[in-house]
Structure formats: structure tokens, C-alpha cells
């Protein structure tokens, strides 16, 4: 079996580079489409369910929660970690839920793009590795 020529190696690298770039473009397009669907929740946020008891009755409510104070409080100048959403199925509840979902998907797409960017560096840096292996 013949050894690949330097032209074959270069064409292979260009083809791999183009495939990775095309994949990055697809992911970036998905990010843009996601942003058009609505706002993203703050990083690290989640929708929490909590119970309120009054006499013998129990009520379930929802809040958007973040690890660090982020939301402007209605009653003071301080920021809060919580944003009250109300009962299940309200517009505020569903909007918050969907914004958290969009944030999660957006962040995963961002990670995938970063991994593929590293792949591009591997492809362009592989020339040195091939030269070293031939010595």
C-alpha cells in the first residue's frame, strides 16, 4: 500500500476543517433561532416549586430562582434571588420555564461550539505532529 502524499494529507486536512466549520455554522444558526424564540433566563437559574399552607389548605406556587441576587425587589433597593411566578400554568410560570429551557439549550450549544473550535485548532496544528512523526 502506498504512502499518502503531502497533497493527499493537505486535502484531507482541508476537508476535515471544512466539515467542522460547517458543523459550527449549523450550531450557531440554532443559537440565533433560539434567541428569536424569546429571552434567555439568567445563567444558573431554575424554576422552583414551593408550598404555602393556610389553615387546612395547601397551595403550590412557582418561582424563578438564581444562585446570586439578580432580580430587582419590588419593596426595596436590594436585589433578590427569587422572582415569584404564581400558580402552575400562568403566563409568568410558562414564560420562565421556557426561558430556563432556552438558556440550557443555548449553553449546551455554546459548549459544543467551543469543543469544535478546539477541533479546528487540532486540525491546523496537526501539521507539526505529522512532521515530528516522520523524523
Q: What percent of the chain has pLDDT over 70?
A: 92
Per-chain mean pLDDT for the chain? 91
Minimal CA–CA distance to 62: which of 77, 45, 83?
Answer: 83
- Evaluate if residue 79 carries a pLDDT over 80: yes
How do the domains of the chain map onto residue ranges? Answer: 8-134
List pLDDT tens digits, range 27-77: 999 999 999 999 999 999 999 999 999 989 999 999 999 999 999 988 888
Dump pLDDT digits (tens) for 55-65: 899 999 999 99
- pLDDT > 90? residue 95: yes
Can you give the pLDDT at residue 5? 84
Nearest to 101 by CA among 52, 57, 64: 64
Measured between alpha carbons, how far is 52 from 133 in angstroms, rounded to an integer?
68
Query: Quick one: the chain helix, strand, coil %, rounded to 5?
Result: 55, 20, 25
| pTM: predicted TM-score of the whole model, two decimal places | 0.82
pLDDT at 129 over 60: no
The rounded distance, in Å, linking the Cα atoms of 132 and 94 is 57
Amino acid at each position: 500500500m502506498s504512502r499518502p502524499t503531502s497533497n493527499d494529507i493537505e486535502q484531507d486536512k482541508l476537508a476535515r476543517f471544512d466539515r467542522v466549520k460547517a458543523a459550527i455554522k449549523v450550531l450557531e444558526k440554532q443559537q440565533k433561532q433560539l434567541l428569536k424564540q424569546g429571552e434567555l433566563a439568567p445563567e444558573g437559574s431554575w424554576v422552583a416549586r414551593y408550598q404555602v399552607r393556610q389553615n387546612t389548605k395547601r397551595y403550590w406556587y412557582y418561582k424563578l430562582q438564581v444562585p446570586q441576587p439578580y432580580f430587582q425587589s419590588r419593596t426595596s433597593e436590594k436585589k433578590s434571588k427569587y422572582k415569584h411566578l404564581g400558580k402552575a400554568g400562568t403566563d409568568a410560570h410558562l414564560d420562565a420555564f421556557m426561558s430556563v429551557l432556552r438558556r440550557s439549550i443555548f449553553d449546551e450549544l455554546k459548549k459544543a461550539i467551543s469543543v469544535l473550535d478546539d477541533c479546528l485548532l487540532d486540525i491546523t496544528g496537526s501539521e507539526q505532529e505529522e512532521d515530528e512523526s516522520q523524523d
